[in-house]
Amino acid sequence: MRIPVLIKKETVVALLFLAPSVGGFALFYAVPFVMGFIYSFLDSTIAGNFVGLDNYQVLLESSSFRKAASNTALFTLVSVPLMLGISLLLALLLNQSVFMRKWLRTAYILPLVVPVASVVFIWQALFDWNGTINSWTHSLGMQRVDWMKSDGAIVVVAVIYIWKNIGYNIILFLAGIQNIPESYYEIANLEGAGPITKLRRITLIYLMPTMFFVVLMSIINSFKVFRETYLIAGDYPYDSIYMLQHYMNNMFVSLDIQKLTAAASLMVGSIIIIVLALYGMERRFRNFME
């Protein structure tokens, strides 16, 4: 008779510990988003009338929104696979007995603890009109380039995104690699398997659960690149780096709440679809392996 009482007490204690986090999430994230989602179907935030999908139709007809959405999608489609490949390659190298392995691991983790403002300051010093790179190229007789106001701006943002987030992916990949039983590789060596075969048939197969999670986190982090872009280029950056967050920020400044909430709802809906698709693929892969 005492066991249910103990379970009930433990449940109550657990709920008490979770209550501040759940309350904070509901107050500052869940409730505002639900209210914003409702506002996206109204013509005004004060005594508004229901207009259905009119706000979404106006939003999709906006050239600035389409530009921001296409830039965000392109950035995610290009930068995420690129960072995935680079981080996996570096994790495989750092898992070996390379020179100064511990120092290299620390170097890749450092960007995670550096404040965003400091990161932006470093990259501004590199890519500014009078920055380090332009100084080097000018000394070689080449013309200076205003990187953040040219087609190369998207490359700069992609480099910053990869540099800032690659350490986190390397940590996850290293943990996944080190959890693979060494006996699998020993059996493969006895059967005469080469490095490429072991990589394809063992490492990549057993890294799939980790890879799904890394892809998911990389996609989510790609939507956060607005911070760096905003600090470098301001409210209205070059066309190639005008992201969805820029559009929503400008709608907030102009108090166009209907477009803001409609754009936020579409972005969250897209992220949810991507998350569900990745979880579905991961579940099918797990069932296949079992």
Q: Residue 2: is its pLDDT beyond 60?
A: no
pLDDT band at 290 (very low <50, low <70, confident <90, very high): low
Q: Which of 76-80, 85-89, 108-112, 167-171 is predicted least confidently?
A: 108-112
Dihedrals φ, ψ of 151, to 5°?
A: -65, -15
The reported pLDDT for the residue numbered 3 is: 47
The three-class DSSP label of residue 139 is helix
Taking the C-alpha atoms of residue 82 and residue 155, their distance in angstroms, rounded to an integer, is 12
Which tens digits make up the pLDDT trace of 197-221? 888 888 888 898 899 989 988 988 8
Q: Residue 283: is its pLDDT beyond 60?
A: yes
The reported pLDDT for the residue numbered 84 is: 92
CATH number of 57-289: 1.10.3720.10
Q: Residue 71: is its pLDDT beyond 60?
A: yes
Which tens digits make up the pLDDT trace of 137-166? 878 888 887 777 777 788 888 888 888 888
Taking the C-alpha atoms of residue 63 and residue 68, their distance in angstroms, rounded to an integer, is 9
User: Would you call 166 exposed, middle or buried from its count of C-beta atoms within 10 A (0-12, 13-18, 19+)?
Assistant: buried
0.85 cut: is pTM over it?
Answer: no
Instruction: Kindly provide the b/e burial profile for residues 239-264, where b requires at least 16 CB atoms within 10 angstroms of the residue's own CB.
Output: ebbbbbbbbbebbeeeebbbbbbbbb
In Å, the largest CA–CA distance within the chain is 86
The three-class DSSP label of residue 228 is helix
> 290: Cβ–Cβ under 8 A, 6 or more apart, which residues?
none
Which tens digits make up the pLDDT trace of 18-37? 888 888 888 888 888 888 88
The reported pLDDT for the residue numbered 150 is: 79
Taking the C-alpha atoms of residue 180 and residue 240, their distance in angstroms, rounded to an integer, is 41
CA atoms within 13 A on the CB side of 220: 11
Query: Where in the chain are the domains?
Result: 57-289
Q: What percentage of the chain has pLDDT greater than the value 70?
A: 94
Q: Which secondary-structure segment (H or E) carries 19?
A: helix 2-25
